[in-house]
Homo-oligomer: A and B are copies of this chain.
Amino acid sequence: MSTTPAAESNVDVLVIGAGPAGLMAAHALAKFGVNVRIIDQRPAKVAAGQADGIQPRTVEVFQSYGLAERLLREGNQLHTAAFYNPNSSGGIECTGRARDVSADTARYPYEVTLHQGAIENIFLDSMATIGAKVERPVTPISMHISENSSELADPTKSPVRVVLKHLDAPEGQDTEIVNAKFVIGADGAHSWVRKTLNITLDGEQTNYIWGVIDILPTTDFPDVRNRCAIHSNNGSLMIIPREGDLIRLYIQLTDTDVVDPNTGRVDKDRMGPEELLQVAKKSFHPYTMDTDAFDWWTIYVIGQRVASKFSVHDRVFIAGDACHTHSPKAGQGMNASMNDTHNLAWKLAHVLRGWTDISLLKTYEFERRKYAQDLIDFDKKFSALFSGKPHTEENQDGVSHHQFLEAFQTFGLFTSGIGVHYAPSTIVNTTHQSYASNLIIGQRVLPHVFVRVADGRPFEIQDLLPSDARFKILVFAGDITQESQVARVKECAAHFDKPEGFFRKYGGKNPEKVFDVLAICSQQKDTLSYTDLPEVFRAHWSKVLTDDQDMFKRTGGDGYKTYGIDLLQGVVAVVRPDGYVSMLAPLDGVQDIDQYFSGFMRA
């Protein structure tokens, strides 16, 4: 037994678990310049299988971190969903096709499929460019949170003490004590962090048992490259086409397939990938479905659970599968997980920089637990519909194509992530919604193309709102060929320049570090030079846009109309660092923005 004292170190944020939720957290925090470490107990990352669907909103989030380009280059796209049901000759037939994504405003109107290892690589490679990496194999063995309330209230203190074990270090030198200001437990469904915090998972197992195989198919099935929901008299199936020529099959199983009659429990040894394919083949009749190679496979029972709380003292947080589990067929798992930590990362950065009060962190559980609960509610309905028997001549009570399609489309907005709507809180203030009726407060900024005044280049506005931890202030300045509007815009700018206004008060000497201001006029670009705007609205020539088409009239225009903003009046929109609309204010009412920020920011 060694007597070497354990090494001791300090860190601002310790992330436990390097799956998608943990990597999104560590990547974002490292990008924001936060002192962060991320550990994982596995000696190497996953290579195949696991989660693989990226929803439209998640693609937008990837883009906000500069990661979408590679995701789209490597991933497969699902544009079409096909529905198959029993036909009168004992096989299946196509009963309809629809858009795979039903959210009208999706910037990326498709799902992207790519195996989890490749998605993790996107984060890892981006982290490597800024010197951040996953420490592995490292596992936490104990964690203690101070109960001292003044310590807990002070964001400069490190009230969490975690003991880590470096699994490949020599015995006696393998232990490290980390004093962390904050800890994120992103350590999966069997989360050590959650268990250590005694947080319960509320919910239950279902009776739905499914098998999954990833194969390179040989088939005459015409919709093999579409997402397919297949209801057959032999059970239900789902096809998720993957990168390259791979497809994933979700195969409904029965108790007799996998339940051990002696124990009454699922015994995964009762079936292998070959047996799973045999079950699938029956449902594909009259089409053929064969393969030479299985890339990955698993069997699971759907469980639908949400953690009773997402944090302890707002110092240790759980995220991703650690706080919610649901069926994979909604294609939500990895998306909900990454969006958890996308929501949390900027808040931690702001608290650590001393810009905001530590109470800001309460909004993480407030916003993400509600989402997780909605997700479970959706998943219950969808899983029941999908696992249910199909409607046939003999089974009039079965699930009809119509019922299923309706559910598919109703829930589409939710599953795409586009419909995520954070409720009012200290950071979501709906008072002035009427000034931009379609720029919904609590939702992500609606994608739209505006034209940059200085060079006439069209820009998707989402690309001007990167995830860089800054609040974005969009000054929709209206038409400044109008004298009266010039006066209003000048007055508004003057407020930005006042020492007691939010911009100087919370921005300090260098407000551009905290606030990124963009001016967006409503007039045609020919009538405007970027130098026409007050200086505080154009820290750089690139910051002035207008609501017009590009030089070829291929994109842009009608942005004010799309957002529901009065062309002459304008509005000031505050956008959270994670891309969600925080509040609106009229140009002559920007003191309301002072009040909004005074609710959580520190001068």
Contacts and interface: CB of A to CB of B under 8 A. Distances in A.
Interface stretch (A221-229, A380-388, A573-581): A221-229
A551 B80 contact: yes
Contacts of A220: 531
Interface residues of A, number: 36
A509 interface: no
A456 B80 contact: yes
A73 interface: yes
B455 A225 contact: yes
Contact of A110 (B104, B110, B225, B457): B457
Given A69-B69, A97-B526, A457 B552 contact: no
B99 A541 contact: no
A112 B106 CA distance: 29
Given A99-B551, A224-B541, A551-B109, A455 B531 contact: no
Nearest to A550: B79
Given A69-B73, A456-B79, A457-B79, A551 B222 contact: no
B455 A551 contact: no
A508 to B, nearest CB: 25
A529 B94 CA distance: 12
Taking chain A's interface residues, is the majority helix, strand, or loop, or is none over half, making it mixed? loop
B551 A225 contact: no
Interface in A517-564: 526, 529-531, 541, 550-552, 554
B109 A456 contact: no
Max count, chain B CB within 10 A of own CB: residue among A80, A106, A241: A80
A64 interface: no
Contact of A551 (B100, B241, B551): B100
Nearest to A104: B552
A415 interface: no
Q: Assembly of this chain: how many copies? A: 2
A325 interface: no
Nearest to A109: B552
A226 B79 contact: no
A98 to B, nearest CB: 8
A454 interface: yes
Nearest to A99: B551
A443 interface: no
A554 B109 contact: yes
A401 to B, nearest CB: 16
A77 interface: yes
A78 interface: yes
Contact of A456 (B224, B226, B456): B226
A452 B357 CA distance: 52
A109 B550 contact: yes
A27 to B, nearest CB: 19
Contacts of A99: 551-552
Contacts of A223: 529
Contacts of A100: 551
Nearest to A241: B455
Given A80-B551, A97-B526, A109-B550, A454 B224 contact: yes
A543 to B, nearest CB: 12
A222 B454 CA distance: 7
A99 B553 CA distance: 11
Given A526-B97, A550-B109, A552-B99, A225 B541 contact: yes
Contacts of A529: 222-223
B78 A455 contact: yes
Max count, chain B CB within 10 A of own CB: residue among A457, A529, A531: A457
Interface string A63-84: 0000001000100011110000
A457 B110 CA distance: 9
Interface in A425-467: 454-458
Contacts of A110: 457, 551
Contact of A222 (B69, B241, B456, B530): B530
Given A97-B526, A526-B97, A530-B222, A455 B80 contact: yes
Interface string A205-225: 000000000000000101111
A137 to B, nearest CB: 31
A171 to B, nearest CB: 42
Contacts of A73: 69
Contacts of A550: 79, 109
A77 B109 contact: no
A288 to B, nearest CB: 12
Nearest to A455: B225
Nearest to A72: B69
Given A79-B551, A104-B552, A224-B541, 19 more contacts: A79-B455, A79-B456, A79-B457, A79-B550, A80-B455, A80-B456, A80-B551, A97-B526, A99-B551, A99-B552, A109-B552, A109-B554, A110-B457, A110-B551, A222-B531, A224-B454, A225-B541, A226-B455, A226-B456
Interface of A: 69, 73, 77-80, 97, 99-101, 104, 106, 109-110, 220, 222-226, 241, 245, 454-458, 526, 529-531, 541, 550-552, 554
A-B pairs with lowest CB-CB distance, top 10: A80-B456, A222-B529, A225-B455, A225-B454, A79-B456, A99-B551, A109-B552, A79-B551, A79-B457, A222-B531
29 contacts: A69-B69, A69-B73, A77-B455, A79-B455, A79-B456, A79-B457, A79-B458, A79-B550, A79-B551, A80-B455, A80-B456, A97-B456, A99-B551, A100-B551, A101-B551, A104-B552, A106-B552, A109-B550, A109-B551, A109-B554, A110-B551, A220-B531, A223-B529, A224-B541, A225-B454, A225-B541, A226-B454, A226-B456, A245-B541
